[in-house]
Structure 1
Amino acid sequence: MSALPTPFTDGGHDASSGVGRFIDLLHRTIGLDAESIGANSVSRAVHERYHAWRSEQGDTLDDYYRAVMQDPARMQELIEAVVVPETWFFRDPEAFAALARLARVRLHERPAKPVRVLSAPCSTGEEAYSIAMALIEAGMPADRFTIDAIDVSERALAVARRAHYGRNAFRGRMLDFRERHFRAADGGWQLDAAVAQSVRFTQANLLQLDTHAFERFDFILCRNVLIYFDRDTQCAVLRVLDGLLADGGTLFVGPAETGLLMREGMSSANIPLAFAFNRPERASANVFSGAWPNVPVATSPKPPPKSAFVLPAWASAPLVQPAPQVRKPVAQQRVQPEPADSLAHAHTLADAGQLDAAAHAARAYVSAHPSNADAYYLLGIIADARGDRQESRGHYRRALYLDPAHREALTHLAALLTLDGDESGARLLIARAERVTGSTR
């Protein structure tokens, strides 16, 4: 049978308009906002699955739509065609460093109760296993934490459970963790069983979770998924997360999602580049009604002394280290804010959700240091958080002009190109990033 034309035909009639009902169905089922990945991408996925179904037993697009509605397996196949995993180990490493520190504090406060962590959605498992490695390297025994990981894609979960990964899963400048926790096997790397067994994977739809079926989690990583939802679905997901997150818990999101959390009343944990937010204390259970509870946020506990916790090697230092401070007697100590013209100050503002002020501070820094690639990279992150992809692309490209080996700018720009449908451009950037990684090992 010949390939289907585009727009594909339905019994001799133009059926391109028929794709709209599939878009609506995917929105109702998994919350996908087609505009976030491009309606053409959804159309191609429908095209692909319809063509495969018609070659087996079907006829018209109407018949295929009825089959999808009536057969959960067909619906799952369509979801698998739309959901394209894009993740890697220790993506935004500061988030995992922060999680490890906070988990140690949580365990110290409640030594009899294991720390509970959720990765949702977990895609092909890199994030969940990164959590496990971070906690293990922070010195936490395996019986003192639990990690649950959920995703709507059975295909992605099969990859996660196998725990065997190729080069694309290892990005960034620091790859020592691969030497410690993986062994070379079958052209890739196999994760140690001790790490793999610390994560429990479950197929589940985030929008359809029964939050009462879970004990609340101390930490939830829901990163780089809210950007694919429209406003109503984002609020629905936040209600689910509200029911899953424990009092005083911490929610980690992606860099482009920080503005949404600030608008919904979450309080930034003020950890540079971790994109972490604190859970307000509840007046009662399940009080979310379109906005986060407007109550005071409990003060975050102080981290343990340096001697009690040492960052693992994979946790890269902030882009700009603040100048060391001389310790004064307690009576003389004063909080010393970062200089207003420093890049660290811009980072602090961005992490607190003060995006306009952060952009102003970063631009001021660029004016004084026009050849600093990290400053342009930060401007790209801020533009991402504002949802301005065109501006963020420009900043990432400027960072790469100044530093062609800037690993983070390469990977973030690749992610943007993927969202824009430029898969070939994204692959080229990933290949460049892999060469950079190889040269720094």
Structure 2
Amino acid sequence: MSALPSAFAGESYGIGRFIELLHRTIGLDAESIGANAVSRAVHERYDLWRDAQDGTLDDYYRAVTQDSARMQELIEAVVVPETWFFRDPEAFAALARLARVRLHERPAKPVRVLSAPCSTGEEAYTVAMVLIEAGIPAERFTIDAIDVSERALTIARRAHYGRNAFRGRALDFRDRHFRAADGGWQLDPAVAQSVRFSQANLLQLDTHAFERFDFILCRNVLIYFDRDTQCTVLRVLDGLLAQGGTLFVGPAETGLLMREGMSSANIPLAFAFNRPVRESANVFNGAWPAPQNIAKPLPLVKPAFVLPAWASAPPVVRAMPVAKLREEAPIEPAPQMNLAHARALADAGQLDAAASAALAYLNAHPSNADAYYLLGVIADARGEHQASRGHYRRALYLDPAHREALTHLAACLSLDGDESGARLLLARAERVTGSPR
């Protein structure tokens, strides 16, 4: 970025006070997006304010701190939505299956889901679509979605999306739930009406105002906070999560939750966690236990996830049985079908079988980055963290633009305390985001 304009350079406090104000208000760690990005946002809003008020930067700072509308305008300038439908699709498939389990265990109580922050609504609407397609009637679930940005919520409530909201190749859901309209796609009202949107600041949320949620999606936001703010948000989420509930985070945030003592739900590719609990007490004491301070492992809320037969639902990618493959395709099966079978085994909790299937595929296709990435995820689920790092690095050697391997290895480096290395990998992942992988 070029040098700051003279109106900024001559001020006694400079841009730092705005950075601190945004940190106090919404928890933003300026380093996560770059101080220059914050400078540009402040400059943009200050120029607009000065055209009408003809004041100094000091005057503008006072106006922002004293006028909630001005503060909201600055927040809107800093917050840039980046999301799309079915981002990390395995998480949504896992949520739908777990919701069926939850309804079986508590048939009289609807499943409650929270998307926080929800950005422009794609995540919350994806949850609604997968629950409906899992055969769960609309009256059996509720979805609340909150965000600090009123601009993003306006887009979400409109439920009309352009091409950027639909990424990747698996777009059959668009044909089922959208209609072409006004140069984009309009969501089916039956789906749109199943989500309740409201403006809220996650850092200032009154957890007592909500009934606890069975599932919370707080994905790809913790990486924008510093360590103290991350702990604050985790305390808020704990106050919102029902006993036995599941928290979904982004792939780059798994290392943080493991470091803070959360228990993996052991659902590969879903990035799902449960609250750690002691047998003698289920009350959160206000601080997440650090793993090094625990004398012995805490009992998990649940063992490695194994879906009951009665709760099975069609997965996102259905693997064809090997016998059927041989019957219909006497030549070598397509590579993606072999990997789909390995993924399906991993998703069902059959980690040994999944690893064997992935290794068998690699014997025939030793340069396949996706297979090495899957082995890394399986190793992580087994707790074999050193092995997982090797698999992720091998995947990136073969495919330097493999977004999932980049974000997972970044999480591993963060867990090891290598924050600079993690940031470099996340920056690489951002540059390839939106590819058809």
**Superposition TM-score tier, normalisation by shorter sequence:** 0.7 to 0.9
What corresponds to 2:56 in structure 1?
A: 60
Matched, 1:124 2:120: yes
CA contact (8 A) 1:122 1:128 kept: yes
What corresponds to 1:21 in structure 2?
A: 17
2:313 to 305, 309, 317: 309
Q: Distance in 2 between matches of 1:286 and 1:80?
A: 33
Q: Distance in 2 between matches of 1:169 and 1:195?
A: 16
Matched, 1:267 2:281: no
Q: Distance in 1 between matches of 2:420 and 2:68?
A: 38
SS of 1:287's partner is coil
Q: List gaps (5 residues or longer) in structure 2.
A: 320-335, 360-371
CA contact (8 A) 1:338 1:345 kept: yes
Matched, 1:288 2:286: yes
Matched, 1:347 2:377: yes
CA contact (8 A) 1:119 1:149 kept: yes
1:185 to 181, 191, 195: 181
Q: Aligned-pair distance for 1:57?
A: 1.2
- Post-superposition Cα deviations, 1:323-380, rounded to whole Å, max 9, x if no partner, equal 999xxxxxxx9975734983443221234665433012445x659xx75x49955532
User: Which letter maps to 2:138?
Assistant: A
Q: Considering only aligned residues, what root-mean-square deviation do their CA atoms show, in Å?
A: 3.4
CA contact (8 A) 1:31 1:207 kept: yes
Matched, 1:245 2:257: no
Q: What pairs up with 1:78-97 in 2 under 5 angstroms?
A: 78-97=74-93
Q: Aligned-pair distance for 1:384?
A: 2.6
Going from structure 1 to structure 2, the CA distance change for 1:350 and 1:173 (only over 3 Å counts) comes to farther
CA contact (8 A) 2:97 2:311 kept: no
Q: Aligned-pair distance for 1:113?
A: 0.5
1:338 to 324, 333, 355: 355
Higher relative contact order (CA 8 A, sep 6+): 1
Q: Aligned-pair distance for 1:416?
A: 1.7
SS of 2:406's partner is helix
SS of 1:131's partner is helix
CA contact (8 A) 2:38 2:78 kept: yes
Matched, 1:197 2:200: no
What corresponds to 1:356 in structure 2?
A: 386
What corresponds to 1:322 in structure 2?
A: 342
Matched, 1:37 2:61: no
Q: Distance in 1 between matches of 2:192 and 2:285?
A: 36
Q: Distance in 2 between matches of 1:355 and 1:15?
A: 49
SS of 2:55's partner is coil
What corresponds to 1:153 in structure 2?
A: 149
CA contact (8 A) 1:243 1:285 kept: no
Q: Distance in 2 between matches of 1:334 and 1:264?
A: 25
Matched, 1:383 2:386: no
Going from structure 1 to structure 2, the CA distance change for 1:43 and 1:248 (only over 3 Å counts) comes to same
Q: Distance in 1 between matches of 2:308 and 2:7?
A: 65
Going from structure 1 to structure 2, the CA distance change for 1:85 and 1:415 (only over 3 Å counts) comes to farther
Going from structure 1 to structure 2, the CA distance change for 1:335 and 1:255 (only over 3 Å counts) comes to closer
Going from structure 1 to structure 2, the CA distance change for 1:352 and 1:213 (only over 3 Å counts) comes to farther
Q: Distance in 2 between matches of 1:254 and 1:169?
A: 18
What corresponds to 2:368 in structure 1?
A: none
CA contact (8 A) 2:100 2:311 kept: no
What corresponds to 2:4 in structure 1?
A: 7
For these two proteins, the number of residue pairs brought into alignment is 391
SS of 1:322's partner is helix
- Post-superposition Cα deviations, 1:151-210, rounded to whole Å, max 9, x if no partner, equal 000000000000000000000120000000000000000000000000000100000011
Going from structure 1 to structure 2, the CA distance change for 1:220 and 1:352 (only over 3 Å counts) comes to farther
Q: Distance in 1 between matches of 2:352 and 2:166?
A: 39
Q: Distance in 2 between matches of 1:305 and 1:183?
A: 35
Q: Aligned-pair distance for 1:91?
A: 0.3
1:73 to 57, 69, 74: 69
What corresponds to 1:166 in structure 2?
A: 162
Going from structure 1 to structure 2, the CA distance change for 1:90 and 1:240 (only over 3 Å counts) comes to same
SS of 2:308's partner is coil
Q: Distance in 1 between matches of 2:233 and 2:343?
A: 40
Q: Distance in 1 between matches of 2:401 and 2:47?
A: 47
Going from structure 1 to structure 2, the CA distance change for 1:176 and 1:119 (only over 3 Å counts) comes to same
Going from structure 1 to structure 2, the CA distance change for 1:241 and 1:79 (only over 3 Å counts) comes to same
SS of 2:144's partner is strand
Q: Distance in 1 between matches of 2:54 and 2:316?
A: 55
CA contact (8 A) 2:212 2:240 kept: yes
SS of 1:277's partner is strand
CA contact (8 A) 1:118 1:221 kept: yes
CA contact (8 A) 2:262 2:276 kept: yes
Q: Distance in 2 between matches of 1:182 and 1:152?
A: 27
Going from structure 1 to structure 2, the CA distance change for 1:340 and 1:169 (only over 3 Å counts) comes to closer
Q: What pairs up with 1:103-118 in 2 under 5 angstroms?
A: 103-118=99-114
What corresponds to 1:100 in structure 2?
A: 96
Q: Distance in 2 between matches of 1:317 and 1:67?
A: 59
Q: Aligned-pair distance for 1:9?
A: 2.6
Q: Distance in 2 between matches of 1:362 and 1:271?
A: 18
What TM-score, normalized to structure 1? 0.79
Going from structure 1 to structure 2, the CA distance change for 1:274 and 1:9 (only over 3 Å counts) comes to same
Q: List gaps (5 residues or longer) in structure 1.
A: 326-332, 396-411, 418-425
User: Which letter maps to 1:163?
Assistant: A
SS of 2:15's partner is helix
Q: Distance in 2 between matches of 1:267 and 1:190?
A: 38
